[in-house]
Amino acid sequence: MSVAGLSDPGGRIGCMSDLRDPAPYDALLLLSFGGPEGPDDVVPFLANVTRGRGIPEERLREVGKHYFLFGGVSPINGQNRALLDALRKDFAEHGLDLPVHWGNRNWAPYLTDTLREMVRAGHRRIAVLATSAYASYSGCRQYRENLAEALSVLAAEGLPVPRVDKLRHYFNHPGFVEPMTEGVLAALAGLPEELGAGAHLAFTTHSIPTAAADTSGPEEAHGEGGAYVAQHLDVARVIVEAVRERTGVEHPWQLVYQSRSGAPHIPWLEPDICDHLEAVHDEGAPAVVMVPIGFVSDHMEVLYDLDTEAAAKAAELGLPVRRSPTVGADPRFAAAVRELVLERSAAERGRAVERCAIGALGPAHDLCPAGCCPARTPKPAAAGADSPYA
Ligand SMILES: CC1=C(CCC(=O)O)c2cc3nc(cc4[nH]c(cc5[nH]c(cc1n2)c(C)c5CCC(=O)O)c(CCC(=O)O)c4C)C(CCC(=O)O)=C3C
Ligand SMILES: [Fe+2]
């Protein structure tokens, strides 16, 4: 069943607030991308991200320019540490006794090392929260492939193989969306009054190849843009409507893309944020608020691609822009994670659960069906119906 989030002035957002029992889970794993923490980390980090594709070091240094501009430090690890603290605090305050660990796909602490420690500490049934809210190969199945790889290493080492369950996509959880809505309202209020009312909202997310978008989500969601585009449009509509309710203004808006990479002849989702800024400027938009709904924290894709590159484009056009924040370690997001854990725990125990979701799409599946967000070259993926693991 899908119900609207209940939000009171104290900031509590709840659907399953009566639940406390995390069984059958004995731990939560925060699974993220990882990022470099100094100049010497940048090239090895990029080699990890692009592993198996034989990209020469020279090219990696070029790609690493964004990181070198910031002293070789991505903010993403610090942001995950802050999220870990927020989760532990929220769990403790709500009587949820569940240890929280952290592992990354591409940098230390590495997923495999974290899982090994968790198994040695006795954990056998692990809920997994990925720092990616939407469907897609890059945002979902690739994390599941990395989980399968890590489990295969543990098995080869003769260690027990834990069961890992990835929590559902939370793009439409009110604890993810409401802090972003508030951020948009604050960004609009930060514009000079005569510009704010007519400002355009540019909702941004990571561009991916159109072929990956079209096959994102379960098979029934396939079609142009697939679940990836549909989910982002749903979140954008919810925010536009919430802003209209609060301000009386329905701002013109569009879903646009950023951070494209890959060969130019392969089609990726468009338009790019910079082209979009130019287009709306030509149409006479007085100002733009960039809303990075595709990301969970203000990491390098946000700091470079929006705050540096797109901001420079806007300055060149003389177009006033603001950028609203991502959820990061917002306590409402931490509360949402607790609810996702408790909801899934109850479901695994066979209880009927209320799944908190706003927008038109309803709550996403617990278990990715076979063929969900397929890879170009099939690999084993854990935590889905087609997982080779229990
Ligand atoms: C959908 C999506 C998300 C959102 C979901 C999620 O968060 O998972 C995301 C997040 C991120 N992407 C990140 C960094 C990178 N992504 C790359 C490359 C790519 N991303 C892709 C997609 C996504 N990416 C794709 C289709 C590619 C090309 C193919 C490939 O290489 O797989 C490359 C390689 C160099 C380049 O091609 O530019 C880098 C360095 C960082 C870390 C930022 C930091 O350090 O603060 C984060 C959070
Ligand atoms: Fe990426």
pLDDT tens digits for range 255-285 = 999 999 888 899 999 999 999 999 999 999 9
**Is ipTM strictly over 0.85?**
yes
- Flag whether 143 is marked binding: yes
**Where does the pLDDT of residue 63 fall: very low under 50, low under 70, confident under 90, or very high at 90 and above?**
confident
Alpha helices in 52-141 (DSSP H): 57-63, 65-69, 76-93, 111-120
H or E element that contains 132: none
Domains of the chain in start order, with CATH, are: 2-170+329-356 (3.40.50.1400), 174-323 (3.40.50.1400)
Please report the pLDDT score of residue 276 as a whole number.
98
- Which residue lies with its CA nearest to atom 16 of ligand 1? 49
> What's CA 219's distance to the chain center, in Å?
21
Threshold 0.80, pTM exceeds: yes
Mean pLDDT of the chain: 94
Q: What is the pLDDT of residues 194-251, one digit of tens each?
A: 999 999 999 999 999 999 999 999 999 999 999 999 999 999 999 999 999 999 999 9
- Flag whether 301 is marked binding: yes
Ligand 1 neighbour 138 (Cβ under 6 A): yes
Euclidean distance between the first and the last CA atom of the chain, given in angstroms as a whole number = 26
Mutate to test the pocket of ligand 1, among 206, 297, 377 (most ligand atoms within 8 A of CB): 206
Ligand 1 neighbour 77 (Cβ under 6 A): no
Please report the pLDDT score of residue 313 as a whole number.
98
- Flag whether 110 is marked binding: no
Q: Which atom of ligand 1 is nearest to the CA of 296?
A: 7
Give residue 280's region: left, alpha or beta (phi > 0; psi -120 to 50).
Answer: alpha
- Which residue lies with its CA nearest to atom 45 of ligand 1? 35
Q: What is the distance in A from the centroid of ligand 1 to the CA of 105?
A: 11
Ligand 1 neighbour 139 (Cβ under 6 A): yes
